[in-house]
A and B are shown apart, each in its own frame.
Chain A
Amino acid sequence: MLRGLRVPAIVLALCFAPAAGAAPQVELTPALGGWSRPDRTTEIGVRVRADTATRGTLGIAAGPQSVRTRFELAAGETLRLDIPVASGATLDATVELEGAPAERRPIALSLSESPLLGAALASGQSARLVGFHGVALVAGDLPRNASAYASLDALVLDEGTLRALDTRQLAALIGFAASCGRIALVSADPGAWRVLEAAAGCGRRMLVAGASLDEALGRLQDSLAEPAGGAVTAADLGALAKTGAAAWPRVVAALAVFFAAAALALIFVPSMPALLLVPLLATAVLAALLHAWEPRSRLVVWAEAEPSARVAQYQAWQQVQGLARGRLTMATLAGLGQPRPCDRHRSARLELDAGRGQLASVDFDARLFEPVALCYSGTFPVMRAFGVTAIGAGRVEVRNEGTLASPPGVFLAGGHVQDLPALAPGAAATLRLETGRPPQDAATRAALARTPYAGFGLLWPLQLDTVADAPADAAAWLFVPVAEAT
C-alpha cells in the first residue's frame, strides 16, 4: 500500500517544488550575418537573459585589442549590447557569470577578400554586382553602430527593410550614409529616399535609388566611377593632428637640473659617499616624477560639410603622450561619437559601460614620449549654407544663404587665406582673391590642403560646447569645400 503511494508522492513533490533558476542564456551574434573583411570593424550583438539576479563579465578579444564589460542583471532582465570590434577570422569571447565557471565561446566570422555587397531586400530578391561578393541580409542583420558598416563596401536595401529597422539601426544607417557609404535604395517612395538623402555625405554621390532592383543596381554600378570618399585621416591634416611634445621639455628640464646639481656637488661636496648620493637621489626623484606627472590630453576635431548640406561629418583625435612605462588609462569623451583606438594594431583593453552601451575607457601599454590616441567620428547638424559667386576682376562674392548668421571665419582660395567677416542671413561679402595671405597656422594649412583645385574653402573655428569633458587644449574646426563658383 505504502509502496504504491510512493511514485505519485514523488511526482507531486516535484510538481510543487520551487523551480530551480535556469542558467542564464547568453547569445553572441555577429552583425551582417557574420560577414566582414580583413582589418575592418564589425559588431557583435550580445544578449544575456537571466531568470535570477546575477552579475558577470563579458570579454571579446579581437587581435591585439579586447573589449570587456561588467554587467548586473535583475531577475528576468535582458542585457542587450552591440559591441563594435575589429574583424578577424575568429573572435574569442569569454563569459563569466557569478557562481559559474568562465565560458569561452569562439565567434567565427566570414572574411571576404572581394568587396562585399550587402543585399538587405525584404522582397527576397538577390542582388549581384560585378566584382562584388553579394551577401543576403535581413533587417535584423544590419548593425546598430555606424562603424560596423565598415565591413561592407556597398549596401542595397529596399523600403521594406528600411521600415523594419529599429531606431538604433536607422541611426547607424544614416551615419553610414553621412560617412559617404555606398548605398542603393530600392524604393519608389520619395519619403524613404529623403530619410537618407538629408544626411548623405560626399554631395550624395554615393547614394543612389531606383524604383526597381535592376535600376538601383545599375545606378550603383555607375556610382562606382566615383572614388570612395574616405574619412579625413590624421595624416590628411598634417601638423594640425600631430601629437604635441609636451613630455619632452619636462624630461629635458629634469635632466638639466640633475646635471647642474651633480656639477655643483662635484665642486663643493668633499665626501665621496655623499657625492654618490646625488645621482641616486636624482634617479629616485625622476622615477617618481615620471609616474606623478599628469599626462596632458589634446583634442582636435575636424568637421567637413558640403556648402548646402544639413549635416557635417567630423573626425576627432584625443591624444595623450605617455610619461611612464606602464598602463595608461584614457577616459572617453562623452560628447563625441564612436570612440575607438586610432591604431587598431596596437594592444589595448577597452572597457565598455554596459549601462550606456558605450566605451568608457581604454587602457594602453604606454611609454615615455609615446603618443596614444583615441579616434572619434560622427555627424552633427549644420545650419550654414554658403554660395561663392565669381563676379569678375579677381573678385568673388561669398553669400550666406542660410537662415542663421555665421560667425567670422577664413576664406581660402588659390593657396592663400583671407578673413571672412561675420555674415547675417542673406548678406554677402566681396573678397579680392589677390589680397590673400599665406597660411599662418596649422588649421589653415590643413584646410588649404583640402581645398579643391581651382575651388574655394570656408573655415570656421567651432566651440566644443557639447563636449563637456573636453580637455583645455582642445580645438575644433568646420571646413566647407566649394568645388567651383556658381
Chain B
Amino acid sequence: MPEDPRPIDAFELGLIQGRARWIGDLTEFFRDYRIGDTTFALYAKGRTRNSGFLISRFFSWTVLPNYAIALFCVDEGEGSLGIETLRNRVDVVTRISKDEDLQWAWLILFSRKNIQPSIVSFVSRYDKRELGLAVASTTVKQIVLSNNQIGKSIEKHLRLSRALGEEKSGKTD
C-alpha cells in the first residue's frame, strides 16, 4: 500500500495545483528554506494578481492589484511549541514581510504534539491584518486559526484540514 504523504507535502501539492487561486497566485515553492536562524519547511512566493488566460487575465490586469504575498510553513516536529517560539516565528515573518514588501503573509506551524491552551489563546486572538496565523497538530488533527481575514482563509481557501487528512475540519476559531 502506498504511504500517506506527509501533511506538509499534501498541503504543498494542493497549492501547486492552484488551491490558493481565489486569494492569491502562489507561483514559486521552496522547501527547507533558511532565512536567518529559521528554516521554513515550505516557503511559497506569489502575487495577488493571477495569470489566467484571456478573460481572467484581462480581468486580473484591469481590476486586481499586484501585491507580493508569501506563505511560510514551519515543521516543529516532536518539539514542544511554546508561546516564546511562536512569538519568535511571528517576529521573523513580520520582519521578512517588511523587507520583501509583502502585502500579507501566511504563517502555518505544524506540530506533532497537542496544541497547548496558551497557544490556542494567542493564535485565536491574533488579529493583525497583514499576517494570517495557523497552528496545526498533525496527530490530533486540530487546527487553530487567527482571528483575521487572512487567517480564516487558511482553512476557507487553502484547505489546511484536507492536508491533515480530515474529512471535516476540526478547527478551533
On whether the two chains bind one another, the answer is no
Interface residues of A (CB under 8 A from B): none
Interface residues of B (CB under 8 A from A): none
